[in-house]
Chains A and B, each alone.
Chain A
Amino acid sequence: MTNPPAIQALIADFNELPIKERLDLLLEFSDNLPKLPARYADHPDLLERVEECQAPVYLFVEIDDAKHVQLFFSAPPEAPTTRGFASVLHEALNGLPAQEILDVDANFPDELGLTAAVSPLRMNGMRAMLARIKRQTREKLA
C-alpha cells in the first residue's frame, strides 16, 4: 500500500527530528488545528464523537461533488495531544479523493515516529480517528 505524498512528507518531517522535538512539531500542529466553520460550530450534534479518545473529540467528513473529502475536527485546548493528532490527520488527508482516503494504510500513525515520545497507548487515539474517518467516507460514498 503506497501512501499519498502528503502522508509520506509528514512521516519524513517527524522522523528526521530527534524524539523530543517531534513533540514540539506535534504541538505546532495542535496549535494550528483549523477552527470549525460556523455550520458545525453551531451544530455540535452533527459531529461524531471519537469514543476511543480520552478527551472529548469530534469529527465530521464531507464529500463534495468531485468526490473529494473535507475533514472537520473539534477538540478542546486541554487535550493538546488529541488536537495534534487531529491536525496531523487534517494535514495528511484533507482534500484527497475519497478513494485515496479509503486506501490509506490504517497503520500510518505508527510510522510517524511518535510512539516513543507519546507512548503506544496514546497512539491508539489517532488510529481510532483514522478508522472513523475511513468509515464515514465509506458510508458517504455509498
Chain B
Amino acid sequence: MSVPFDPSESLREYAHPEALVTTEWLAQNLGTKGLVVLESDEDVLLYQTGHIPTAVKIDWFTELNDDTLRDYLDGTDFAALLSSKGINRDDTVVIYGDKSNWWASYALWVFKLFGHEDVRLLNGGREKWIAEGRELTREIPEVEVTNYPVIERHDSQIRAFRDDVMKHFGNPLIDVRSPQEYTGERTHMPDYPEEGALRGGHIPTAASVPWARAANEDKTFKSLADLQQIYLEEAGLKPGDDVIAYCRIGERSSHTWFVLKYLLGFYSVRNYDGSWTEWGSSVAVPIVKGPERGAVPVIKR
C-alpha cells in the first residue's frame, strides 16, 4: 500500500516531485502503514549509532552486490532481502543516507532495476535530519517479514554496460568524478586506492560534472534553475537527450542519474556502473586524457 505524496511547495518545481520527500513530511508520516524507511550509508556502522525512528538498515556493499559476480543481486535474492526488511511490492519506500544521499541514491537505483514503483529519497538525507535536531534512536525496529515477489531484474532501461557505451558515442555522457580523475591526473579517488584503473582519463566526449555540484550545503538537491544551469547550460544537455552517467563504480553516478531522471525529467538516462574501474582497464577501448572532452572515437573492433 503506498502513501500519499509529499505536497511540499519546495518539491513541486521538479519533473517528478513524487520521488522526494522533505524531512517535515517524513517526521509527520513515520509509522504510517505502507511506509518503509531505509537508511543506506557509506559507513556501515552509522545506522547503529542512531537512526530515524522505524528506519531499517540496508548496506550497499554487503547486501546489494553479488558475492562472486561483479553484478547486483538477482530476483530471488532481492525478494529475500526485501522480505527480510518487511517491504511489500506496493509499499512506499523512503531511502536516506549520509554524504548527500550518495549511497541512498545507489540503493534507489538498484530498487528501480527491479521496478519497485514507489521509492523516494529524503531530500537532504541523514545530515539534514540531524541538523534540524530531529529524533534519532538506536532502537532496531522489529520487522514483520513479508513475502516480496521474485521479480526479474530489468537492466536495459536504466543500466548501461560497456558495449552500450561503445554504441552510445554521439550521444551525451556525463562523468561525475572529481576533476583530477577526469583529466587522468589520478587513477582512483583520493581515499580509495584499491578502486583504481590501469589508466587515467575519461570516456571520449564525456562532459565533466562532479556529482556533488547537484547538492546544496544542507545536502538537499539544488533548485531546478540551478540544475538547469549546470546540466543544460554548462554541460550542454538538451531536452530529449539519451544520457549515460558514470563514475568509478557506479555509485556517485546514481546520484546524478537521479537528478537527471527525476528532477530534470530526462526520459532516457542510464547509469554505467562498470564505470572507470572497467573502462579505464579495458583492452581496446579509447580514452581521452586532459581537460578536453575529446572527439567521437573511431571504433576499430
Segment at the A interface, from B31-39, B189-197, B259-267, B292-300: B189-197
Closest partner residue, chain A, to B190 (CB atom): A51
Q: Which of B42, B45, B194 has the most CB of A within 10 A?
A: B45
Taking CB atoms, residues of chain B closer than 8 Å to A79 are 43
Within the assembled complex, what's the spacing in Å between the Cα atoms of A121 and B61? 9
Verify if A13 is at the interface (C-beta below 8 Å from B): no
Chain B interface, DSSP helix/strand/loop, else mixed: loop
Question: Are B193's CB and A52's CB within 8 A?
Answer: yes
Question: Are B62's CB and A117's CB within 8 A?
Answer: yes
Question: Are A81's CB and B62's CB within 8 A?
Answer: no
Within the assembled complex, what's the spacing in Å between the Cα atoms of A62 and B45? 29
Q: A54-B42, A55-B43, A116-B62 given as contacts; is B48 within 8 A of A80 (CB)?
A: yes
State which size class the interface on A falls in. 20 to 34
Verify if A2 is at the interface (C-beta below 8 Å from B): no
**Which of A30, A84, A118, A121 is in CB contact (< 8 Å) with B195?**
A121
Verify if B98 is at the interface (C-beta below 8 Å from A): yes
Chain A interface, DSSP helix/strand/loop, else mixed: helix
Question: Are A27's CB and B48's CB within 8 A?
Answer: yes
Taking CB atoms, residues of chain A closer than 8 Å to B190 are 51
Chain A 67-89, CB-CB to B under 8 Å as 1, else 0, gives 00000000001111110100000
Q: A53-B191, A54-B192, A117-B62 given as contacts; is B43 within 8 A of A24 (CB)?
A: no
Q: A55-B43, A117-B44, A119-B44 given as contacts; is B191 within 8 A of A77 (CB)?
A: no
Residues of chain A in range 102-124 having any CB-CB distance to chain B below 8 Å: 116-119, 121-122, 124
Question: Are A23's CB and B48's CB within 8 A?
Answer: yes
Residues of chain A in range 1-41 having any CB-CB distance to chain B below 8 Å: 23-24, 26-27, 30-31
Question: Are A81's CB and B45's CB within 8 A?
Answer: yes
Q: A116-B62, A119-B62, A122-B61 given as contacts; is B45 within 8 A of A26 (CB)?
A: yes
Question: Are B191's CB and A84's CB within 8 A?
Answer: no
Question: Are A77's CB and B49's CB within 8 A?
Answer: yes
**Which of B45, B62, B191 is in CB contact (< 8 Å) with A54?**
B191
Q: B147: shortest Cβ distance to chain A, in Å?
A: 23
Q: A79-B43, A80-B43 given as contacts; is B191 within 8 A of A27 (CB)?
A: no
Q: A121-B194, A124-B193 given as contacts; is B62 within 8 A of A84 (CB)?
A: no
Taking CB atoms, residues of chain A closer than 8 Å to B62 are 116-119
Closest partner residue, chain A, to B61 (CB atom): A119
Taking CB atoms, residues of chain A closer than 8 Å to B165 are none
Question: Are B44's CB and A30's CB within 8 A?
Answer: no
Question: Are A78's CB and B98's CB within 8 A?
Answer: yes
Closest partner residue, chain A, to B127 (CB atom): A78
Question: Are A118's CB and B49's CB within 8 A?
Answer: no
Question: Are A80's CB and B46's CB within 8 A?
Answer: yes
Q: B126: shortest Cβ distance to chain A, in Å?
A: 9
Within the assembled complex, what's the spacing in Å between the Cα atoms of A53 and B190? 9
Chain B 171-185, CB-CB to A under 8 Å as 1, else 0, gives 000000000000000
Taking CB atoms, residues of chain B closer than 8 Å to A26 are 45
Q: A52-B191, A54-B42 given as contacts; is B49 within 8 A of A80 (CB)?
A: yes
Within the assembled complex, what's the spacing in Å between the Cα atoms of A38 and B43? 28
Within the assembled complex, what's the spacing in Å between the Cα atoms of A82 and B42? 12
Taking CB atoms, residues of chain A closer than 8 Å to B61 are 118-119, 121-122
Question: Are B45's CB and A30's CB within 8 A?
Answer: yes
Q: A27-B49, A30-B49, A77-B49 given as contacts; is B193 within 8 A of A118 (CB)?
A: no
**Which of A31, A81, A121 is in CB contact (< 8 Å) with B43?**
A81
Taking CB atoms, residues of chain B closer than 8 Å to A116 are 62
Taking CB atoms, residues of chain A closer than 8 Å to B48 are 23-24, 27, 80
B residues lining the A interface (CB < 8 Å): 42-46, 48-49, 61-62, 98, 190-195
**Interface pairs A-B: 5 shortest CB-CB:** A80-B45, A119-B61, A54-B191, A81-B45, A27-B48
